[in-house]
Amino acid sequence: MPINKAVLAAFKAATRLRPDIKEFYKAQRVAEDLSARLALPNPRCRVDDITAPMPDGCALPLRVFTPLDIDFSLAEGFKVTEDFRGTVLFFHGGGWVNGDVDFYTDACSAMALRLERRVVSVDYRRAPEHRFPQAPEDCYEVARQLHAGELLADVDADHIVLFGDSAGGNLAAVVSLMARDRGEFLPRTQMLLYPVTYNDHDPVTSYFDSVRENGEDYLLSSRDIRGYMELYASSPADLHRPYFAPLLESDLSRQPRTLVVTAEYCPLRDEGEVYAQRLADDGGDVQCYRMLDAVHGYLLYPSVFNIVRDTYRIVKQFLDGDPLVQEGEPTWLGLLGTD
């Protein structure tokens, strides 16, 4: 499905004018911080800041988003939802370098309200100040504590959902692999939104056509991805480790029930879909959807956009069994484990 020509022209101009991410990431952080400060709080969602103690003594920041019931027949107007459907442990995107809980506050508030679940957003330590494997170790330890009831006393471990977008999708997949390998807990459910799963994004050598088809004109470029990986890796050897690029893992058995959602015009599209297929081939319960006419990073669009609305419809079908029916022009393509 073609993108509107005017929108495509804007995408192309923005992508080609973007500086090298290895030099630009600090300026991008400043811009993201400013954007986060301009965001208005959502009165339908309570926000609490807590910390999780890390093995090295760091108090890792977390932000907890609690959906509120709106009942104007009540004198107090709002009351905290008691019957949680579960808890979403969210790992934000940004190439392991950008993004943080502040920048994702609007998205997480919308997530909590749309999914009727508490959302715990993890402010894992970012590269290049903290290179691989710091981010996955931080995310793993938070997941372990949440499953053990050490962070929030009322969490049902069977209803925890690991969720991440882009680099956060990579971290969710890696945490699930680490949990299986270490044997301390085992997540039941994970959702990966346009995840990074592989280590080669050179248009000449990549296995994946989406790197060549979508790697120049759609906001996230193949050059950006390679730059982020250079900032994230501690050494070239890291690129060949499954906890860095989970598609390199030879055994993807005993993984959570999984939803993978990709974007049609994203350079990471094919590797996300191949990861879903690999999970299914190794015995997993997997659903995979491709969002049509979508580019990388669309989770951060306002929730009124059809692409965001329909992604949450897919998520609600996956989590709660809600009916999933396309209306009008199709906005997604079901690929694996889908009707």
The yes-or-no verdict on residue 13 having pLDDT over 90 is no
Identify each DSSP E strand in 185-305 by its residue range.
Answer: 189-193, 257-263, 286-291
Comparing 59-73, 92-106, 125-139, 158-172, which segment has the lowest mean pLDDT?
59-73
The mean of the pLDDT values for the chain is: 92
How does pLDDT run across 22-32, given as a tens digit for each residue? 999 999 999 99
How does pLDDT run across 210-243, given as a tens digit for each residue? 999 999 988 899 999 999 999 999 999 999 999 9
47 vs 8, residue with greater confidence = 47
Q: Determine the residue type at 175.
A: V
Q: Which helix (H) or strand (E) holds 182?
A: helix 167-182
DSSP helix/strand/coil, 302: coil
The yes-or-no verdict on residue 5 having pLDDT over 60 is no
The yes-or-no verdict on residue 247 having pLDDT over 50 is yes
pLDDT at 11 (0 to 100):
65
pLDDT at 10 (0 to 100):
67
Confidence at 18, pLDDT banded by 50, 70, 90: confident
pLDDT average, residue stretch 103-126: 96
CA distance 21 to 66: 34
Q: What is the pTM of this model?
A: 0.93
Comparing 11-20, 118-127, 247-256, 291-300, which segment has the lowest mean pLDDT?
11-20
Radius of gyration of the chain (CA): 19
DSSP string, 113-135: HHHTSEEEEE-PPPTTTS-TTHH
CA distance 167 to 234: 16
For the stretch 72-81, contacts whose Cβ atoms lie closer than 8 Å and that sit 24 or more positions apart, written own/partner, are: 78/43, 78/44, 80/46, 81/116
pLDDT at 4 (0 to 100):
63
The yes-or-no verdict on residue 128 having pLDDT over 90 is yes
CA distance 191 to 257: 9
pLDDT at 71 (0 to 100):
44
Q: Are 266 and 194 in contact (CB under 8 A)?
A: yes
Q: Which residue has the tokens 């790697």?
A: 215
pLDDT at 327 (0 to 100):
79
The yes-or-no verdict on residue 159 having pLDDT over 50 is yes
Distance between first and last Cα of the chain: 20
pLDDT average, residue stretch 166-181: 98
- Which domains are seen in the chain, by residue range? 3-334 (3.40.50.1820)
DSSP helix/strand/coil, 299: helix
pLDDT at 77 (0 to 100):
45
Instruction: Name the percent of the chain lying above pLDDT 70.
Output: 90
Comparing 77-81, 142-146, 331-335, which segment has the lowest mean pLDDT?
77-81
Confidence at 72, pLDDT banded by 50, 70, 90: very low
